[in-house]
């Protein structure tokens, strides 16, 4: 396997300004605050965390919809953060995104044909005469009948729209797709269809996928590896079964224990860790480990030392007490 994507200490900060007449900088929102990982060809990485933890900003940073404040995003050996506009445009062929809400991410005034042919024409993928054939093929890949090609998004259901969005992402034959909560807006029975489709595509097209979701059971099902984010940092990263079935970081443990399971007997007996409070503000994160104010195991040194992501029990964990708890 070869590395398709590498993140080196990526930081994305947004300035916060105060004052109406005289704008002054009042610190910054550290949405992504030092994230590093590697992704192999054909690998599925699940990215989980609560809202506000920076997972969507990380996705946008990888896509360079938001430029990183610091660090490097390296796609196929090329540092996108240092690339020129033209180089970045060329790299976008290899890098595509699927968004959460298929009602908002498709242009309501474009037919399926318009939506799917636009990337083909913009990047001059094939001669214009071959475009209809390509569009039909894309539709078949995602399980839509090519006869719907002249229909508009409002004529489709949520699941079908998400298929169109996936087809659009596949049009340029990318090497990496970033999917930001692609099934959260869908019903259970439709969600299963989209998950099966994504799993099949990564297998058959050797596609890498960054799959962002807040539903851990969905992430576990589809991912090879899982990264858990808290307040802009990865706190645990490892194989999906390891991280979700045997979590080490106190935050991952709480997250796993918070997911309800569809099993009444287990639900009535199992111990729940109910985290108190909300995540702290990323403008003014707590010193030391950002999780310490909500952590059951926090000690004095947790308030001082920023824990590095270090190997432990077959995965990477950012907790200085990983071996003790």
Binding residues for other proteins, rule: CB under 8 A, are: 50-51, 157, 159, 187-193, 195-196, 199, 214-218, 220-222, 240-241, 254-255, 257-265, 267-268, 272, 274-276, 278
Name the minimum Å distance from CB 279 to other proteins: 9
Nearer to other proteins, 186 or 318 (CB): 186
Name the minimum Å distance from CB 315 to other proteins: 16
Nearer to other proteins, 72 or 190 (CB): 190
Nearer to other proteins, 96 or 191 (CB): 191
Nearer to other proteins, 59 or 95 (CB): 59
Nearer to other proteins, 16 or 258 (CB): 258
Name the minimum Å distance from CB 294 to other proteins: 9
Closest CA to 32 of 12, 7, 8, 60: 12
Three-state SS for the chain is: CCEEEEEEEEEEEEEEEECCCCCEEEEEEEEEEEEEEEEECCCEEEEECCCCCCHHHHHHHHCCCCCCCEEEEEECCEEHHHCCHHHHHHHHHHEEEECCCCCCCCCCCCCHHHHHHHHHHHCCCCCHHHHHHHHHHHHHHCCCCHHHCCCCHHHCCHHHHHHHHHHHHHCCCCCEEEEECCCCCCCHHHHHHHHHHHHHHHHHHCCEEEEECCCHHHHHHHCCEEEEEECCEEEEEEEHHHHHHCCCCHHHHHHHHHCCCCCHHHHHHCCCCCCCCCCCCCCCCCCCCCCHHHCCCCCHHHHCCCCCCEEECCEEECCCCCCCC
Name the minimum Å distance from CB 152 to other proteins: 16
Nearer to other proteins, 10 or 237 (CB): 237
Name the minimum Å distance from CB 189 to other proteins: 4
Name the minimum Å distance from CB 35 to other proteins: 20
Contact between 81 and 73 under an 8 Å Cβ cutoff? The reply is: yes
Nearer to other proteins, 70 or 215 (CB): 215
Closest CA to 103 of 61, 155, 47, 170: 155
Name the minimum Å distance from CB 217 to other proteins: 4
Name the minimum Å distance from CB 257 to other proteins: 8
Nearer to other proteins, 3 or 193 (CB): 193
């Amino acid at each position: 396997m070869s590395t398709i994507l590498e993140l080196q200490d990526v930081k994305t900060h947004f300035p916060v300004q105060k004052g109406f007449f005289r704008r002054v900088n009042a610190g910054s929102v550290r949405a992504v605050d030092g994230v590093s990982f590697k992704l192999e060809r054909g690998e599925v990485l699940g990215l989980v965390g609560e809202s506000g933890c920076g997972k969507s900003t990380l996705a946008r940073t990888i896509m360079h919809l938001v430029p990183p404040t610091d660090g490097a995003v390296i796609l196929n050996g090329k540092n996108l953060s240092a690339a020129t506009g033209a180089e970045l445009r060329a790299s976008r062929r290899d890098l595509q995104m699927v968004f959460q809400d298929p009602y908002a991410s498709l242009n309501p005034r474009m037919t399926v044909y318009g939506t799917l042919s636009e990337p083909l024409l913009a990047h001059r993928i094939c001669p214009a005469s071959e475009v209809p054939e390509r569009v039909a093929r894309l539709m078949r890949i995602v399980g839509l009948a090519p006869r719907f090609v002249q229909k508009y998004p409002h004529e489709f259901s949520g699941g079908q729209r998400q298929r169109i969005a996936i087809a659009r992402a596949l049009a340029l034959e990318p090497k990496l797709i970033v999917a930001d909560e692609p099934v959260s807006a869908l019903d259970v029975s439709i969600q299963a269809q989209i998950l099966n489709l994504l799993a099949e595509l990564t297998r058959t097209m050797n596609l890498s996928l960054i799959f962002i979701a807040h539903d851990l059971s969905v992430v576990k099902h589809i991912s090879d590896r899982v990264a858990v984010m808290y307040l802009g940092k990865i706190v645990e990263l490892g194989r999906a079964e390891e991280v979700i079935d045997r979590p080490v970081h106190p935050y991952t443990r709480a997250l796993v224990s918070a997911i309800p399971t569809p099993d009444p007997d287990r639900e009535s007996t199992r111990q729940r860790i109910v985290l108190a409070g909300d995540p702290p503000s990323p403008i003014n994160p707590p010193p030391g480990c950002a999780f310490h104010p909500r952590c059951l195991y926090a000690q004095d040194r947790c308030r001082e030392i920023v824990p590095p992501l270090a190997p432990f029990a077959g995965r990477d964990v950012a907790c200085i007490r990983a071996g003790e708890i």
